[in-house]
Structure 1
Amino acid sequence: MALALERGVVRTRDLTEIGLPRCYLARMCDEGLLTKVSYGLYRATEQRNAA
């Protein structure tokens, strides 16, 4: 998540290079942490804190 937040948009290759298994991308999208922008591109979903 830190990489996606830092860069804004990350590629599948960026995440696999740091050791994140590809199957985690779908899980992170399902959990609302990442949004798929296009084939192989993901961005961090904006999280709003409830006050």
Structure 2
Amino acid sequence: MRKRDRDRAEALRLAGGPRPSLRARAVALAQERGVVRTCDLTDIGIPRCYLTRMCDEGLLIKVGYGLYRATDQKAA
């Protein structure tokens, strides 16, 4: 294993593990709040183009214009 990879793995371990994916963060916020607005998701760093993809995958349901809620599925 290269030193760079070893250092990166050590930094990741010290930081508490890998960060959740954007999809997991979006679904967690939607489950926490019930219904989220587009601006709520963009405020935490989720690009708007991801919202359509997550709806197509069945992770979010579009309730109305700029409003989304989580489904019962887990984020991949």
Specify if TM > 0.5. yes
Unaligned runs of 5+ in 2: 1-26
The structure that is strand-richer by fraction is 1
1:1-51 per-residue CA deviation (whole Å, 9 max, x = no partner) reads 11001001000000000010000000000000000000000000123xxxx
* RMSD, matched Cα: 0.6
Structure 1, unpaired ranges of 5+: none
| Number of residue pairs matched by the alignment | 47
Greater relative CO, 1 or 2 (CA 8 Å, sep 6+): 1
- What TM-score do you get using the length of structure 2 for normalisation? 0.60
Give the 4+ runs in structure 1 shifted more than 6 A: none
